[in-house]
Amino acid sequence: MIRLFKVKEKQRELAENSNGGSPVKKQTAGELRLHKDISELNLPKSCSITFPNGKDDLMNFEVTIRPDEGFYLGGTFLFSFQVSPVYPHEAPKVKCKTKIYHPNMDLEGNVCLNILREDWKPVLNINTIIYGLYHLFTEPNYEDPLNHDAAAILRDNPKLFESNVRRAMHGGYVGQTHFPRCI
């Protein structure tokens, strides 16, 4: 009986390979959904998407955001996205690769965005996440911080916060922390 299954499996492999190339890799449901999401992207002009590992690896990509208003005007911020094979039932893992002074992002690149955590639902998509990230630049939220110091300064002294953001974006220090230039 076991031998019969091996013969059938070998015949299937030969049939797949007979059309000239390597066997076609079957896409997971997550890859199919992600392909649909990416093909339907409607990004603002200030956002772009790239695939550093090539178009064959849709599950890992980068998004660049260049805010055109707010405290972060003129900056360039890079985010990495890692999408699970069970997407959309699990939110993508998003990290900010640009070191940034922001109440909703820590110095390790973790992002505090509700739709990436407790408010994630399978009806949400990549476009929604990118708009959510963009919104963090136009309206930073001091009520749900990862960087508590930045949040307190934004809440208590918005002018000082703006000065700190500018200094950080121009490659300076905020407190004891150095930020690379991103403007």
Catalytic (active-site) positions:
112
Cα gap 20→161, rounded to integer Å: 61
Under 8 Å between Cβ of 86 and 30: yes
Cα gap 119→77, rounded to integer Å: 24
| Residue 79 backbone phi and psi in degrees, to 5 | -120, 140
Under 8 Å between Cβ of 77 and 137: yes
Q: Note if the bond before 145 is cis, omega within 30 degrees.
A: no
